[in-house]
Amino acid sequence: MVFKMKEILLGCEAVALGALHAGISAAFSYPGTPSTEIMEYFLQKKEKYSINAEWCSNEKTAYEAALGVSLAGKRAIVSMKHVGLNVAMDPFVNSAISGIKGGLVIAVADDPGMHSSQNEQDSRYLADFAKIFVFEPADAQEAYNMTFEAFELSERFGLPVMIRLVTRVSHTREAIETRSLKTQNKIDKTMPCKEWVLLPTNARNQFKKLLEKQKDLLIESEKSVFNKTSKKKNSCCAICSGIAFNYFMEVTNGSIPYFKLSTYPMPIKKIKNFSKDFKKIYVFEEGYPFVEEKLCSMLPARKILGKISGAVQRTGELNCEIVKSALGKKIIQNLKASIELPPRPPQPCAGCPHVDLYKALNEAKGSSEIMVFGDIGCYTLGASEPLRAIGSCICMGASVNNARGASIAGAAPSVAIIGDSTFAHSGIPALVEAAKHNNNMVLIILDNGTVAMTGAQETMLSGNSLLQIILGAGVPKERVKFIEPLPQNHELNVSIIKEALSCKGLTVIISKRACIQLLKRR
């Protein structure tokens, strides 16, 4: 027997291939787990499909570049992790007001359970806020199909469309059936005279137009083939969105009537019609109780069981066991180790330059109470034992102005630790402020020449260009110091940091040594 070979792809890669087959001309992104592999796939395939694919400084610039491609008439995709959408919120929300031209799709990967993130926010709320259409795939095949379809809808509505992924869709590998390739759109340089100029007089009209489009979005959702129902006589039913549907099916094999929800705005009529005969409605969804909240207001008289009601665990990642326990099904008695297992948390690689820097910093600080603010990257691991070198990690770029604020509050000198890529992402504006006010703080930039944590992607700012930005921001040359974080330089590095801490005003230390993983690859 001969089987047709399908492509084996991660959910992320399936999104990318769906976009390529839909005829995109460009793709933009900033690395972030669990979305990184979308752009990595584009970078592998960009020559084959004649597209432009680039890592950007941050998610906002990535979104703006994709919007620019769309406004020139061509199709574009921008991908990011959930917290990246916070950074891109401004162009994201306003591109729904301005409208778009070529299909514009935003693929956002949420990380429920926080495998590799600082929160588990749910991107469906942000799409609801921007008033755009959302697809929520349950697996990689749907991720492919929906991405392909999203470009059609985007052009039809003149609005960006979101693909909402979660870790277990992004990072599950499956065999995918694909469609044929569409040709890319031609360039269209026409600019409408008012729509894209969001001055208040124009923006008021555009916002009304966006509200008017909502009924078309709803009609599309009501008729979408991606929403499926099964009807059986039963006292209860389940409404399952995205991957939650797969956990539900694994547990019940469809023995409870279900509504598989894949599109937003939620198809209200269809849901009301489906659920009218059932006393109890279970809601299974990955992330926040978005569907459940809407259902509670749509169907106030019904018993709705989900994360708000307490039937389903509110935090963390969904799984078969949580679905089982909500439905009152038995979980198999498990095997257990009879010994205590020590955890094996992620830790810096052997030979990591960050470790040598932290050792020097810890010694320079000694027992003095200096506040050290950290940031997002491999160096966040320096917060754990045995280093305990940083005391915070909030969001991309936060270290610089956290330290500046603490210094203003009287905790001077304070220290900020940031990597080269995170600095380029959103540390630069904060440095401009620190230089302008000459705040009493030390900014240490760890220049390892790559975006290490997400797998060594290209960095925007390293070496001499990093130095030039620092000088250009107004930091005097004599207040920029250099460290090569190596064990044999330990004493020297301690003295450099000590001196920086004893000087009044801003000192920037560039700690430069290549990522050990990057060296292994070369």
Give contact residues for other proteins (rule: CB under 8 A): 1, 3, 5-6, 8, 10, 33-34, 36-37, 115-116, 139, 167-168, 171-175, 243, 246-247, 249-251, 319-321, 324, 331-339, 341-349, 378, 381, 453-455
CA-to-CA distance for 378 and 357, rounded, in angstroms? 13
Q: Ramachandran region of residue 254, left (φ > 0), alpha (ψ -120 to 50) or beta?
A: left
Q: From the CB of 98, what's the least distance to other proteins, in Å?
A: 34
Q: Residue 315 CB, nearest distance to other proteins (Å)?
A: 17
**Residue 159 C-beta: closest distance to other proteins, Å:** 31
Burial of 275: CB neighbours in 10 Å, binned 0-12, 13-18, 19+: buried
Shortest spacing between CB 170 and other proteins, in angstroms: 8
Q: Rounded to an integer, what distance in angstroms lies between the CA atom of residue 428 and that of residue 424? A: 6
Kindly state the smallest distance separating residue 171's Cβ from other proteins, in Å. Answer: 5
Question: For residues 193 and 332, which CB has a smaller minimum distance to other proteins in the complex?
Answer: 332
In order of 155, 418, 480, 483, the CA distances from 98 in angstroms are 13, 35, 43, 47
CB distance 69 to 26 below 8 Å = yes
Structure tokens at 204: 């008021």
Strand, coil or helix: 239: strand
Residue keyed to tokens 């003149």: 158
Residue number with CB closer to other proteins (330 or 504): 330
**At residue 278, what is the residue type?**
F
Query: In sequence order, what are the residues at sequence separation of 6 or more whose Cβ sits closer than 8 angstroms to the Cβ of residue 206?
Result: 97, 98, 99, 195, 198
Whole-angstrom distance, CA of residue 151 vs CA of residue 24: 9
Taking the complex as a whole, how short is the minimal distance between the CB of residue 137 and other proteins, in angstroms?
12
Shortest reach from residue 245's CB to other proteins, in Å: 8
DSSP lists the bridge partners of residue 163 as 107, 135
- Cross-strand bridge partners of residue 164: 108
Residue among 97 and 393 whose Cβ is closer to other proteins? 393
Cis link prior to 429 (omega < 30° from 0)?
no
Q: Provide the β-strand partners of residue 135.
A: 163, 263
Q: 334 or 488, CB closer to other proteins?
A: 334
CA neighbor of 508 nearest in space, from 415, 436, 433:
415
Q: 85 or 500, CB closer to other proteins? A: 85
Shorter beta-carbon distance to other proteins: residue 81 or 479: 81
The residue among 199 and 341 lying less far from other proteins, judged by its C-beta, is 341
Closest CA to 90 of 119, 124, 56, 129: 129
C-alpha span between 473 and 400 (Å, rounded): 14
Q: If you compute the radius of gyration of the chain from its CA atoms, what whole number of angstroms results?
A: 25
Which residue's CB is nearer to other proteins, number 348 or number 413?
A: 348
Amino acid at 423: F
98 vs 448, beta carbon nearer other proteins: 448
User: What's the closest the beta carbon of residue 242 comes to other proteins, in angstroms?
Assistant: 12
Q: How far is the CB of 332 from other proteins (least distance, A)?
A: 3
Rounded Cα distance, 437 and 431, in Å:
10
What's the closest the beta carbon of residue 380 comes to other proteins, in angstroms?
Answer: 8
The torsion angles phi and psi of 239, rounded to 5 degrees, stand at: -110, 120
Query: Of 48 and 344, which CB lies nearer to other proteins in the complex structure?
Result: 344
Which residues face 207 on adjacent strands?
none
* Between 400 and 452, CB nearer to other proteins: 452
Which residue bears the tokens 């000088």? 471
Can you read off the two tokens belonging to residue 93? 């929300």
Taking the complex as a whole, the smallest distance from the CB of residue 341 to other proteins amounts, in Å, to 6
Residue 223 vs 520, nearer CB to other proteins: 520
Q: Please, what is the minimum distance in Å from the beta carbon of residue 316 to other proteins?
A: 13
For residue 66, give the H/E element and its range.
helix 59-71
Give residue 252's identity as a one-letter amino acid code.
T
Residue with Cβ nearer other proteins (139 or 149): 139
Kindly state the smallest distance separating residue 38's Cβ from other proteins, in Å.
12
d(CA 79, CA 15): 10
